Structures are given as structure tokens and as C-alpha cells.
Amino acid sequence: MVSSIHHPDILDKLLAGLTDPAAPRNKSVPGVALVIRSKDGRIIYSQGNGSFDTSTPSWLASCTKLVTPIALLQLVEKGLITLDEPVQRFLPQCDLSHVLVGIDGEGKPMLQPVTTVVTLRNLLNHTNGLGNLFTSPARMRLFGIQNPEEALKEMLKYTKMTYQGPLDHEPESAWSYSTGPDTAGLLLEAITRQNFEDYLQAHICQPLNLKSTSFIPPPGLPDSIASRTVVGDSTSEWQKVDYPMSRNPEMHSGGSGLYSTAEEFSLILAEVLNDGGRLFEHAETAGLLFESQLTTAAKRDLGAFLQQTLATSPDTVKAWETAEPEFGLGYLVNAKDIVETGRKAGTGSWWGMSGTTAWIDRKTGIACALFTQTFPYPDAALTYAHHVVEKQVYECLSGGE
């Protein structure tokens, strides 16, 4: 078991450099927080620099997707639903039975019945067909969206419209980044007859004594998040902008709605690392988060998605080219070691549009949460920061300088 990190001062210096106002704009961020925990939950490194620290509440964005599967797999353990059970019967308000094949001349959806049902497994591994608003031209036309950047300002509104269907493709026929975790959250509410926030507090936060993890913006959340003066231009300055999420959310988004601190979020990850710890009854359940769920064709879809999404960081793209990406019941998994950084095969990870990223390396025995609170992702500075910090983490763990 990892018990300490060598040369923490080197990591301190790296984080300070990333937040140095004099650093190049494409290699600097306004703030950064990093927490590394061992399998027993102990913090072996914790440091924040710039505009916030490891105890500052932050928006997880899509790192929420690392938590939602935990809640649903708890229901599976209790026998309330199975992984391969059709979910449509629990969700009469959703259309999971038709594929959106186009928009007619009057702007109405053209639908085709599916031949395969959507299951909980599909919702968690992104083979459900729900797709994502920003990667579906037909869905954008259906909702009358001309500018994706404007839609980002009302994320919950369009997420709610998307996760209720119809589908972009036949279930299990492809991997496509989707609102499946949001629909899974809706499924949880239907099964438990309580809202996701109440369930989260009772079954995840209270067992771990978490005080700042919630779908409701917690006290201490900064008033703004950092964005570029010119979105997509990593040479433009960072400026403060309003959060794209409502302070009074009308839904508890299982895909992007959680807030937490780097300290608390890393503890959730450490419980998963510890074979589920206080979150699961059986170690095998935690293993499902990392267990490959994809066909060969779906793996190609995932690989193409990573190439496109991480394009602002050539180093990261190169790292994933030989890592053989797969997807478990909620987690992106590298089937082979990522030699460029040191991440071991079988690590589960994901990232969020708010500049958050996290990974659980079961072979090394670490759970890491890295926050920047910058929007939107990807930005060259964010992908650069994620890459160099991860690489330095493993060098320090091995004793290198």
C-alpha cells in the first residue's frame, strides 16, 4: 500500500507554476487543487494554489459521473433492479423506445422504433443511444439551438430535454457520450421514491461524513468560475463568469450536477479503491465500475471520442493511443499502462467541463482528485495541467525527481 509521496515539494512547485500569473496563458490556470489518497483513505498529498484550495466547494460537472454509478449499483446490491432489466417501465415520462432519425420540413422529429431495449447497464456505460446535446446535430435542430456555446449557459435545461429521449441510435449498437447517467439518476428516484439529493446524503455522504458534497450548491461555493475572454482561444485571458448551473436546480443531474471539495471527492474515490469500503457490501460490486462492457466496435467509438475531445493536448492524445481505452459501468478504463504518465492498466477515470479530473489507480493504490474550476473543457491549459500533474504524481511516487 502507498503510504507517502516522495519529494512533495516538487509537486508544490509545479502547482505554484501552473497558477503563476507570469506563466504562458496556454499553460496556466487561475487556481488548482490536488488531493491524493491511499487505499485506506489517508491523504498522502494535499495542496491548493491560486484562487481556491482543497477545501473550497467546487462544481464537479461530469466528474459527477464517477459518483452516480455508485448509487445505482447500491440499488443492484439491494435487489431493487438488475443491470440488464429494461428501464422504460420505471420511466414513463421518457421515450427510450424510438430513435431520432431526422427532422421533417415542419421541424418535427422523425422517429423509428428500436429493436433493443435500454437497460441500466446501457445507461451507465454510454451504449444507451441517448447521446449528448452537443454531439447531435439532429437534436440541436429539434431544440432550435443555433449556438452550442449559448446552450452551455443553460446546461440543466437542455440536459433535461435530452435525457428524456428519443435516442440517437439503437441501444448497444455504438458507444456515444450520453446523458445516460442523468437518466440513471431519474431511475434511482423512481425506484427509491426519493430525490437524488436525499439518497446521496443518506447512502454516500453520511457514511463518509461528507459535509460539502451535494446537488445543492453548498456554502462557500465561489460566486464565479473562470472562462476565457475568447472561448476556445487558450491565448486569451481568464475572466470570471457566472456558473452555468442554477443555484436552485430544478433537477439533480446525475451527469453533471454535483458539488464537492477536492478533499471530500477524493474520499469517495478512495472508498471505491478500497474495494467499495463503506459504499458497497461486496468488493465485486466495486469491480464492476472498471470491468469492460464494450464490443470491439464500441471501443472504436470511444477511441474516436477521446481523440477528438483531448485534441488540445497532443501529449494526452499520444498517451491514450496505446492505452486501449475501455469503459466499465461508469468509468473510463485504460486496459494498458499509460507509459507517458505512469498510470497503470485498469485505472478508472473521468473529467468534467469545469476543469475537474479524477482517477483511481488500483494497481498503484491511489485515488486522485485534481480541480481547476475553469470552463469550458477542453482548453489547452487544462489538458496540459492534467497531463503534467499526473506525470509528476507518478514520478514522485516512484521517488524520481
pLDDT tens digit string along 1-11?
Answer: 787 899 999 99
Is the pLDDT at 198 greater than 90? The verdict is yes
Cell of 235: 491565448
Q: What is the pLDDT of residue 164?
A: 75
Confidence of residue 78 (pLDDT cuts 50, 70, 90): very high
In a domain, 69, yes or no: no
Per-residue pLDDT tens over the stretch 251-287: 899 999 999 999 999 999 999 999 999 999 999 999 9
Q: Report the C-alpha gap between 140 and 276 in whole angstroms.
A: 39
In a domain, 204, yes or no: no
Q: Verify that 155 and 224 share a domain, yes or no.
A: no
Please state, for a pLDDT cut of 90, what percent of the chain lies above it.
Answer: 71
Taking phi first (over 0 means left), then psi (-120 to 50 degrees means alpha), and beta for anything else, what does residue 346 get?
A: left
Q: Report the C-alpha gap between 272 and 396 in whole angstroms.
A: 23
Q: Verify that 219 and 336 share a domain, yes or no.
A: yes
Cβ-contact 70, 272 below 8 angstroms: yes
Q: Verify that 37 and 59 share a domain, yes or no.
A: yes
Is the pLDDT at 396 greater than 80? The verdict is yes
Domain limit, last residue, from 158, 192, 226? 192
pTM: 0.94
Per-residue pLDDT tens over the stretch 209-258: 999 999 999 988 988 888 887 777 888 899 988 877 777 788 899 999 99
Q: Verify that 370 and 229 share a domain, yes or no.
A: yes
Domain limit, last residue, from 162, 192, 222? 192
Per-residue pLDDT tens over the stretch 112-147: 999 999 999 999 999 999 987 766 777 777 777 777
Residue of 355, 346, 394, 395 lying closest to 375 (CA atoms): 355
Domain of residue 146, residue span = 75-192
User: Dihedral of the CA atoms 39, 215, 125, 355 (nearest 10)?
Assistant: -70
Is the pLDDT at 401 greater than 60? The verdict is no
- DSSP per-residue string spanning 353-369: TTS-EEEEETTTTEEEE
In a domain, 24, yes or no: yes
Taking phi first (over 0 means left), then psi (-120 to 50 degrees means alpha), and beta for anything else, what does residue 75 get?
A: alpha
Is the pLDDT at 105 greater than 90? The verdict is no
In a domain, 197, yes or no: no
Q: Verify that 179 and 320 share a domain, yes or no.
A: no
Q: What is the pLDDT of residue 375?
A: 86
Q: Verify that 58 and 171 share a domain, yes or no.
A: no
In a domain, 2, yes or no: no
Is the pLDDT at 400 greater than 60? The verdict is no
Q: What is the pLDDT of residue 148?
A: 67
Residue of 371, 60, 353, 72 lying closest to 217 (CA atoms): 60
- Looking at this protein, which amino acid is placed at residue 49? N
Per-residue pLDDT tens over the stretch 315-337: 888 889 999 999 999 999 999 99
Q: Report the C-alpha gap between 116 and 125 in whole angstroms.
A: 16
In a domain, 200, yes or no: no
Q: Verify that 273 and 351 share a domain, yes or no.
A: yes
Q: Verify that 132 and 55 share a domain, yes or no.
A: no
Helix (H) or strand (E) holding 283: helix 283-288
- What does the pLDDT average to over 33-52? 96
Q: How many domains does the chain have?
A: 2
Confidence of residue 158 (pLDDT cuts 50, 70, 90): low
Q: Verify that 85 and 173 share a domain, yes or no.
A: yes
Per-residue pLDDT tens over the stretch 56-71: 999 999 999 999 999 9
Residue of 287, 284, 280, 289 lying closest to 358 (CA atoms): 289
Q: What is the pLDDT of residue 44?
A: 97
Q: Verify that 82 and 57 share a domain, yes or no.
A: no
Q: What is the pLDDT of residue 152?
A: 66
311 compared with 99, residue with greater pLDDT: 99
Q: Verify that 40 and 91 share a domain, yes or no.
A: no
